[in-house]
């Protein structure tokens, strides 16, 4: 579903501040894969997602989604079949618009525009059903402006908006990092259910190694723009927090020091 071939990204090229953010990355995600991504700050995690989304320039390489070469596709065209959530719950929604209006915009993604105005009753029924599945009471607040929601409610809504039209690929960029632990667990449970129920190919960045091993079926370990390991199957099933910390330290000479890694 996602294939990267020799993908390289350099920031501030040909200057004293030049930095190789990604170095000849080769990666393949099969349909339905849920891959967690870990690495220290500056390892290339967000750059990897930005390259796939088209929000940063690449030096070389190719990007395929669903067998289609999107290496030079514009960012807005990729957004038709790539969903993305960010760390900040304020991103991805229009705060002055209601829940149903935000969902209406998301539901129209990739569809031909029509002359009709407003949201149909059929669509409203669908929105209510999807909101009820989140199990956080938003189905009874569809007329509420999104700006009045809590961070967790807003992130759950953003997740629904990103998947109400099933994307070929879902990118989660530390989407629970700004939430308190209880809310983060709730959003992760919602994430797991939506991804599983819709068989969505997913790439999730996390600083929480426990989450990286608990969720999904594969784990990608990055360091200084390189892939240190791509862990799956029996190896992943037997991987402990201490083992993955040792793997990172032994392979990169670096350590995973972010305090969130130990949550």
* Pairing assessment for the beta strands 169-173 and 201-205 based on DSSP bridges: parallel
pLDDT digits (tens, 9 = 90+) for 177-235: 999 999 999 999 999 999 999 999 999 999 888 899 999 999 999 999 999 999 999 99
Can you tell me the distance from the alpha carbon of 167 to that of 172, in angstroms, rounded to the nearest whole number?
13
Q: In sequence order, what E strands does 57-167 have? A: 60-65, 68-69, 82-85
Task: Please state, for a pLDDT cut of 70, what percent of the chain lies above it.
Answer: 92
254: pLDDT confidence band, cut at 50, 70 and 90? low
Classify residue 165 by its DSSP letter.
Answer: S
Backbone φ/ψ region at 5: left (φ over 0), alpha (ψ -120 to 50), beta: beta
pLDDT grade, residue 258 (50/70/90)? very low
Taking alpha carbons only, the member of 36, 162, 33 closest to residue 89 is: 162
Structure confidence at residue 58 (pLDDT): 96
Mean pLDDT value of segment 20-35: 97
Mean pLDDT of 116-136: 89
Per-residue model confidence (pLDDT) at position 203 = 98
- Report whether pLDDT(253) > 70: no
Per the listing, tokens 């807005």 go with 76
**More reliable by pLDDT, 249 or 106:** 106
Domains in the chain (CATH in brackets) are 2-262 (3.40.50.300)
Q: Write out pLDDT tens, residues 58-116.
A: 999 999 999 999 999 999 899 889 999 999 988 889 999 999 999 999 998 766 555 44
Residue 119 pLDDT: 87
- Whether the per-residue pLDDT at 18 is higher than 70: the answer is yes
- Strands of the sheet containing 19-29, edge to edge, are 19-29, 2-11, 60-65, 68-69
């Amino acid at each position: 579903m996602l294939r990267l071939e020799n993908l390289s990204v350099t920031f501030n090229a040909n200057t004293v501040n030049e930095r190789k953010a990604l170095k000849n990355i080769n990666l393949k995600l099969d349909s339905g894969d849920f891959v967690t991504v870990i690495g220290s700050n500056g390892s290339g995690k967000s750059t990897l997602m930005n390259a796939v989304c088209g929000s940063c320039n690449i030096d070389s390489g190719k990007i395929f989604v669903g067998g289609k070469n999107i290496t030079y596709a514009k960012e807005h065209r990729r957004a038709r079949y790539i969903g993305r959530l960010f760390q900040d719950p304020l991103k991805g929604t229009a705060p002055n618009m209601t829940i149903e209006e935000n969902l209406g915009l998301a539901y129209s993604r990739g569809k031909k525009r029509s002359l009709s105005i407003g949201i149909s009753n059929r669509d409203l029924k669908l929105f209510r059903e999807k909101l009820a599945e989140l199990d956080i009471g938003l189905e009874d607040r569809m007329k509420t402006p999104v700006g009045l929601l809590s961070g967790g409610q807003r992130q759950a809504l953003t997740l629904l908006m990103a998947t109400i039209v099933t994307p070929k690929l879902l990118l989660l960029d530390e989407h629970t990092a700004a939430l308190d632990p209880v809310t983060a667990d709730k959003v992760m449970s919602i994430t797991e259910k939506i991804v599983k129920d819709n068989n969505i190919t997913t790439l999730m960045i996390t600083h929480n190694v426990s989450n990286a091993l608990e969720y999904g079926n594969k784990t990608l370990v990055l360091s200084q723009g390189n892939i240190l390991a791509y862990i799956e199957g029996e190896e992943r099933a037997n991987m402990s927090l201490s083992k993955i910390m040792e793997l990172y330290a032994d392979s990169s000479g670096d350590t995973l020091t972010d305090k969130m890694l130990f949550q």
